[in-house]
Amino acid sequence: INGLTNEFHPCQILADIFTFIEHRGSIKGKVVAWVGDGNNMANTWLQAADLLGFTVHVSTPGGYEVDEKLAFGGKTPREGCYKVFKDPLEACKGADLVTTDVWTSMGYEAENAVRMKAFADWCVDEEMMQAAKPEAVFMHCLPAHRGEEVTAEVIDGPQSVVWDEAENRMHVQKALMEYLLLGRQPG
């Protein structure tokens, strides 16, 4: 089980998709806005979009883009599974889900000062959430840095489902282990 690598974070995305389904129903045909680093979370969101039939709007600062070849393992992704936006506000327009991650992931701490400057315009704020659909939810895999990648008003606001998302990590991972050990789905 890949719980987390520098390249991918599938257990987190399983929990995120479960959380979306729990709050808003099927993710098929929906739009997920990814605002921030083209990191392991972004890569895995792209893989999920390709497999499950939704679209990811990706907005990253220059130099921190998603590596399509890495994200899709060299295969051609489903047409329309993602779109790239230079402006994070544009990426959020019409989104059903807005999500982000820390600007400096584990192992990249030496780059923190440079990243803080590069990502300054990629802080998910109320304006971005207002550009999304009114019923859009906000997610973050936690821990979060309020005032960096997300404002306190968003992460602590009514559209945020981060605590359900965090709890769902446990439930989804238990279901994954049961499936892998027993070869069947619960129920």
Q: What DSSP letter does each residue of 144-175 carry, written as one string?
A: --BTTTB-HHHHTSTTB-HHHHHHHHHHHHHH
Distance CA 27, CA 21 (A): 6
pLDDT in tens, 81-121: 999 999 999 999 999 999 999 999 888 889 999 999 999 99
* Residue 86, CA distances (Å) to 1, 129, 158, 186 in order: 34, 17, 27, 42
Of 32, 13, 46, 28, nearest in space to 172 by CA: 13
- Confidence category of residue 185, pLDDT binned at 50, 70, 90: low
pLDDT in tens, 29-88: 999 999 999 999 999 999 999 999 999 999 999 999 999 999 999 999 999 999 999 999
pLDDT for res 183: 84
**Phi then psi for 167, rounded to 5 degrees?**
-65, -40
Q: Are 60 and 88 in contact (CB under 8 A)?
A: no
pLDDT in tens, 119-172: 999 999 999 999 999 999 999 999 999 999 999 999 999 999 999 999 999 999
Q: Residues with Cβ < 8 Å from 60, sequence gap 6 or more?
A: 34, 36, 37, 38, 42, 66, 122
pLDDT in tens, 7-24: 999 999 999 999 999 999
